[in-house]
């Protein structure tokens, strides 16, 4: 994670947890699929696709909202974040899952064995990591810890270059690294991942897009790990 991003989360950890819990920035203003309405719709779809087993929220953020939600649903969930303050706050807010939350950096090798998880969520995280590190470390590591037939949900601000905008929930300007979705998809395919195509029954799948309340465009998709990598 870039130093600037890490400092933002250190400085705003408690406020970020409040915003996440209130879903202030987790609803979608505009989307490519009518059923793509908010973060909860994506999580429900990921769980429906997953073969069942352990889950990992890779970049769980301050408060670890989704790890706690998964735990309450009876899932064996883990959460990691590169910023210690994020994990400390999450343990304070949710002592029930304190032992399931770890400090770990997605630009480095993850502290898990191969094939550890049936579902890996990585939402709005790679936009804080330089492109070369995403390609050479982050994506291979997310695939490595995912079991065969497991599901990866990857969400990120898409495009090229850097996006800078004012975030009214924090009263400050923020900057994000953009990634081209086709570059990311091709890299994941080369690692043995297959895109989950659109399901007309549920109205989700394939390459999906949405705009968040700040006006930033996102791409999100689900990919399944094949048995031969």
| Residue among 210, 221, 218 at smallest CA distance from 29 | 210
The helix/strand/coil state of 132 is helix
Q: pLDDT category, 51, cuts 50, 70, 90?
A: confident
| Residue among 107, 111, 2 at smallest CA distance from 56 | 111
Average pLDDT score, the chain: 95
54: which 2 tokens? 């352990």
pLDDT of residue 131: 96
pLDDT of residue 107: 95
The answer to whether 175 touches 146, Cβ cutoff 8 Å, is no
d(CA 168, CA 186): 35
Long-range contacts of 40-45 (CB under 8 A, 24+ apart): 41/204, 42/123, 42/153, 42/155, 42/204, 42/220, 43/69, 43/70, 43/121, 43/153, 45/202, 45/204, 45/205, 45/222
pLDDT of residue 133: 97
pLDDT at residue 228 above 80? no
pLDDT of residue 4: 83
Region 49-63 average pLDDT = 95
Say which DSSP state 127 is in.
Answer: G
pLDDT at residue 227 above 70? no
Q: pLDDT category, 54, cuts 50, 70, 90?
A: very high
d(CA 2, CA 130): 8
CB within 8 A of 98, min separation 6: which ones? 91
pLDDT of residue 229: 39
Across-strand partners of 204? 199
pTM here is 0.95
Domains and CATH numbers, the chain: 3-225 (3.40.50.150)
Region 1-24 average pLDDT = 91
Question: b/e map of 60-71 (b: 16 or more CB within 10 Å)?
Answer: bbbbbbbbbebb
pLDDT of residue 2: 74
Q: What is the pLDDT of residues 106-165, one digit of tens each?
A: 999 999 999 999 999 999 999 999 999 999 999 999 999 999 999 999 999 999 999 999
| Residue among 91, 168, 166 at smallest CA distance from 79 | 91
């Amino acid at each position: 994670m870039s130093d600037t991003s890490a400092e933002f989360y250190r400085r705003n950890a408690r406020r970020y947890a409040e915003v996440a819990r209130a879903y202030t920035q987790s609803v979608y203003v505009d989307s490519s699929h009518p059923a793509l309405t908010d973060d909860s719709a994506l999580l429900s779809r990921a769980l429906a696709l997953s073969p069942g087993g352990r889950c990992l929220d890779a970049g769980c953020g301050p408060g670890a909202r989704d790890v706690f939600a998964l735990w309450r649903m009876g899932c064996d969930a883990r959460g990691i974040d590169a910023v210690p303050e994020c994990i400390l706050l999450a343990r304070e807010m949710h002592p029930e899952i304190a032992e399931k939350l770890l400090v770990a950096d997605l630009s480095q090798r993850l502290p898990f064995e191969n094939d550890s998880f049936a579902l890996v969520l990585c939402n709005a995280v790679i936009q804080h990591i330089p492109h070369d590190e995403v390609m050479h470390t982050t994506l291979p590591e997310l695939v490595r810890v995912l079991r065969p037939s497991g599901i990866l949900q990857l969400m990120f601000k898409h495009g090229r270059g850097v996006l800078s905008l004012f975030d009214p929930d924090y009263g400050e300007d923020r900057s994000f690294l953009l990634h081209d979705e086709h570059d990311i998809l091709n890299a994941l395919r080369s690692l043995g991942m297959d895109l989950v195509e659109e399901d007309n029954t549920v109205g989700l799948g394939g390459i999906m897009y949405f705009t968040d309340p700040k006006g930033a465009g996102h791409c999100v998709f689900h990919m399944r790990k094949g048995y031969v990598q």
